[in-house]
Structure 1
Amino acid sequence: MTSHLKSRKYRNMDELENYRQQINALDRQLIDLFAKRFDIVRAVGRLKAENGIAVVQSTRAAEVTERAVQMGIEKNVDEAFIRKLYKEMIDLAHVMEHQIVEDHEQSGR
């Protein structure tokens, strides 16, 4: 391999490593955002438990999903991916909220 090709290969590897580091940083930000989102979900669950509000409100779930899909489309993010992601997040939020309501009812508050 000529020195020119070796040099180019190393530059490409450096560029690849740079991209990987950027992805790692974005992954950390995503996890932080998921943690914040689920902290809010827990607060919503407590509020619903204390006020007798139903956990599942299908119109709200649909609104959240459709708003996310539209934002994704504007940013050229695959619609099917957004729908799957939000279905998983909303399903988990419902599980978390149901558990909070159940715990609240069992504690007799």
Structure 2
Amino acid sequence: MWNSSTGAINTGQSVATGTSPSIADMPSGGYEVAFQSGNGLLETYTPSGAATNEEPVAPGSSPAITAIPGVGYEVAWEGAGNDILDLSDGPNEASTTMEPMRPGTSPALTQ
């Protein structure tokens, strides 16, 4: 990652090939990053450490994250093996929407 104050930051986290991380500016300060790890699982990262959601993400799909004031954040991703939109409002709190997604696409979120 890149920080304008300190330059490059090595988080020690791997990102799956062909995917992109998503970042949210948190209302309380700081940021939260969601990404598909090198082992194909959804992960979130903050400067204070990583919280693993351990939810499988479809290959080639990138998760989306947005800050929710007073709540924290919400993450959306395409579930692996089912091409269904999945949501989480925090670590290990996943739910399936049953809304289909086209394989190889990525969701988007707005606040």
Taking structure 1 as the reference length, the TM-score comes to: 0.22
More RCO (CA 8 Å, sep 6+) = 1
Compare the two structures and name the one with the higher helix fraction.
Answer: 1
Q: Which has more radius of gyration? A: 1
Taking structure 2 as the reference length, the TM-score comes to: 0.22
